[in-house]
Amino acid sequence: MSVVGSVVGFMIQTLAVSSIYILVAIGLSITLGTLKFVNFAHAAMYLAGVYIGLGIALELQFSGDIARSIGLGNVGLDLGFLAALAIIPIITFGLGLLMERFVARPFYDRPDTDQILVTFGILLIVQELIRAFVGGRSLTFSRPAWAEGAISLGPLGTYASWRLAIIGITSVLVLAVYLYIEYTDVGLAVRAGTEDTEMVNLLGVRATRPFLVIFGVGSGLAGAAGVVGGPVFSVVPEVGVGVLVPAFLVVVVGGVGSIVGSVVGGLLIGAVEVGLVMNAPTWSSVGIYALAAVVLLVRPAGLMGAVEVDE
């Protein structure tokens, strides 16, 4: 393979991995920025995206102990991948609104440690519920037929269509959310609220609703990440924790409350991970922690962050 080809190949693989981290990280980042809420349960939205998405796109086999004892069989709408991609963000947006109301809101004024314990606990509960009903074994989330095979990009080489599809879908979603935040009243309240929530209130803007909406939007993106990530990462109950860690590092690297920061952080984390997986696989997870540690040492607020993480 030519040098250009291998560089482009590396970039495309990085973009594909980064895409999923970015989609999960944006919600984490915005919630931390606006509501100062550390929401590890955010990864439950990814799980919802994977498992409900599988049920919508194809078929979900219930083979966990509880499902067997009550005789629950297979449930599948078989509507295809695109239908899942369209429906899941709406479902997870709704789940996000519920989560804000019943999980997040009672804990806004509590210390970060309480928030972490509760939200991580919820993530584990969701994970174990999935194990009890669906089962712990790895399921297959097949790629849609239209994304099988490879596409030739002329002199740049030939690449898996699926990776290009992931990159395209993520770009559209991230751009839409970016424009929403940049050009609407809700978005302005969110951005101002990220900088100084109390001040927004004192100016007569009731930011609760914009914050709620953006919580839902973040959840919607994490759900979409589950649909996109299902065929990439394995479909097991632990995959929620599996994407949570890199997504959280993306927020640390990129800076809290910034979409551009999440994108930059996601690309860096993705590049380090892919680079190490290709050349020194055993070091890949060490590498992303090391990157996050270095960024925190040099720029405590992250690359694009307005506020420091501990604020």
Give how many residues touch another protein by CB under 8 A: 23
71 Cβ contact partners less than 8 Å away, ≥ 6 residues apart? none
Q: Which one of residues 210, 230, 231, 254 is an interface residue with another protein (CB under 8 A)? A: 210
Given a contact cutoff of 8 angstroms between Cβ atoms, the answer to whether 43 and 222 are in contact is yes
CA distance 75 to 88: 16
Our CB check for another protein shows the closer of 55 and 255 to be 255
What residue type is assigned to position 183 of the chain?
Y
The 216-235 contact track toward another protein, x by CB under 8 A, reads --------------------
Candidates 125-133, 204-212, 220-228, 291-299 — which segment interacts with another protein by CB under 8 A? 204-212
Interface with another protein, residue 108, by CB under 8 A? no
Q: Which residues pair with residue 158 across a beta bridge?
A: 152
Distances (CA, A) of 162 to 166, 167, 200, 222, 303: 6, 9, 43, 19, 30
Interface with another protein, residue 303, by CB under 8 A? no
Q: Which one of residues 206, 238, 278, 294 is an interface residue with another protein (CB under 8 A)? A: 206
CB 196, min distance to another protein, A: 6
Our CB check for another protein shows the closer of 193 and 231 to be 193
Q: Which one of residues 73, 154, 204, 281 is an interface residue with another protein (CB under 8 A)? A: 204
Which helix (H) or strand (E) segment holds residue 187: the answer is helix 185-195
Our CB check for another protein shows the closer of 176 and 286 to be 176
Q: DSSP letters of 110-160?
A: S-HHHHHHHHHHHHHHHHHHHHHHT-SSPB--PPPGGG-SEEE-GGG-EEE
Interface with another protein, residue 213, by CB under 8 A? yes
User: Which residue from 57, 82, 80, 61 is spatially nearest to 72, judged by alpha carbons?
Assistant: 61
CA distance 104 to 31: 10
User: Which residue from 210, 247, 219, 244 is spatially nearest to 98, judged by alpha carbons?
Assistant: 219
Q: Are strands 158-160 and 74-75 parallel, antiparallel or unpaired?
A: unpaired
Binders of another protein among 118-157, rule CB under 8 A? none
The 247-286 contact track toward another protein, x by CB under 8 A, reads ----------------------------------------
Interface with another protein, residue 306, by CB under 8 A? yes
Interface with another protein, residue 237, by CB under 8 A? no
The 40-79 contact track toward another protein, x by CB under 8 A, reads ----------------------------------------
Binders of another protein among 163-202, rule CB under 8 A? 183-189, 191-192, 195-196, 199-202
User: Which residue from 112, 156, 149, 74 is spatially nearest to 256, judged by alpha carbons?
Assistant: 112
- What the block records as the tokens of 90 is 């709406």
Candidates 2-10, 14-22, 205-213, 232-240 — which segment interacts with another protein by CB under 8 A? 205-213
Residues that bind another protein (CB under 8 A): 183-189, 191-192, 195-196, 199-206, 209-210, 213, 306
